[in-house]
A = this chain, B = another copy of it.
Amino acid sequence: MKRFMNSPDKYIDEMLEGILKAHPNRLRSVTEDRRAIVRREAPIQNKVGIATGGGSGHLPIFMGYVGRGLLDGAAIGNIFSSPNPSQMLAVTKAIHGGKGVLYLYGNYDGDIWNFDLAAELADAMGIRVESIRVADDVASAPKHDQDKRRGIAGLFFAYKVAGAKAMSEAGLDEVVQTTKKALAGIRSMGVALSSCSLPAVGTPIFTIGDNEMEIGMGIHGEPGIERRELLSADEVTEIVLTKILEDLPYRSGSEVAVLVNGLGATPKEELYIIFNRVFDLLHMRGIRVFRSYVGEFATSLEMAGCSITLMLLDAELKALLAAPASTPFFCQGHDY
């Protein structure tokens, strides 16, 4: 696989240097290794701090959502690898504004291990930390085992809700409660058309036939639930959306937010072809689309494919979703 890099061992460092040079008024590093990135203005006094973290290779996830109305900081790991506890602790200390810190991240073993340890260390320093793991991928475990599900693009909706809630002067318990309410109604599922490769290896992380797709594929190449011949966009959309809708009582009269997310190499043109079908299928079921997001929100390097995410809304969640936000990778104004 051809890619723009100098050497695999400099990939993350040079990416981070580039991000910090491109956005010096908005982001800064609080460690020498640049693996702990926070908002320029952190800590913000009397605001709950929100930290995330995870492996690299998923931009804008994770650090792309550090900014106004969203997150306060992110710990950055190597490609598809968890950051370590000291990186997360450095973020925590830098963003703590006196009201505690929420760790909001994807449900992966390495991250849980490292961030739980960071939370203990923070606690010992007098910083209260609460943790919420996003587990939105319905393909990754059955409903009765949903605590084992992986976190994928639904992270974006979780960040948006938590970030806006924290702007409202809410305390840590309130931010936790509202974010958990949102997560109870967030479901995602993906489909991959091609693999990505790791910069250090250079060969695809999985193989897939020239006319095949993998339904339910994870963003690190974790196996999906079915491999089959590539179907039409409408058929693929119906398969994925049906799985999502079966998992939750999205009923006629429900209002939802929709995210059609590109995994890396899929053109935006095709994400909108998929969105077009999502919208129609929801409309047929009497489900109203309050807001739509289409683009690259959680990627897997140069993987071709997409995921669909729904979030069930109530009045509070609608207001939080609609609140303005601005980071170097995401911006939403009052006029949406």
Residues in A lying within 8 Å of B, measured CB to CB:
2-7, 11, 14-19, 21-23, 25-26, 56-57, 59-60, 64, 68, 193-194, 210-211, 213, 230, 232-234, 236, 264-276, 279, 289, 292, 294-296, 299, 301-302, 304, 306, 324, 326, 329, 331-333, 335-336
Contacts and interface: CB of A to CB of B under 8 A. Distances in A.
6 contacts: A2-B194, A6-B232, A22-B279, A56-B269, A68-B335, A302-B304
A17 B335 CA distance: 21
Contact of A236 (B4, B266, B269): B4
A49 B226 CA distance: 50
Contacts of A6: 232-234, 273
Nearest to A196: B267
Nearest to A60: B268
Contacts of A17: 276
Contacts of A267: 3, 57, 59, 264, 299, 301-302
Given A6-B232, A265-B265, A302-B304, A272 B25 contact: no
Given A2-B210, A270-B4, A14 B265 contact: no
Contact of A22 (B11, B294, B301): B294
Contacts of A230: 2
Nearest to A279: B21
B273 A18 contact: yes
- Residue among A16, A18, A193, A274 having the largest count of chain B Cβ atoms under 10 Å: A18
A289 B20 CA distance: 13
Given A264-B267, A266-B4, A336-B25, A15 B302 contact: no
Contact of A15 (B210, B232, B269, B306): B269
Given A2-B193, A60-B268, A333-B331, A273 B306 contact: no
A292 B193 contact: no
Contacts of A193: 2-4
Contact of A5 (B5, B60, B68, B273): B273
A208 to B, nearest CB: 9
A146 to B, nearest CB: 27
Contact of A59 (B11, B22, B268): B268
B270 A2 contact: no
Nearest to A19: B272
A64 B272 CA distance: 12
Contacts of A19: 272
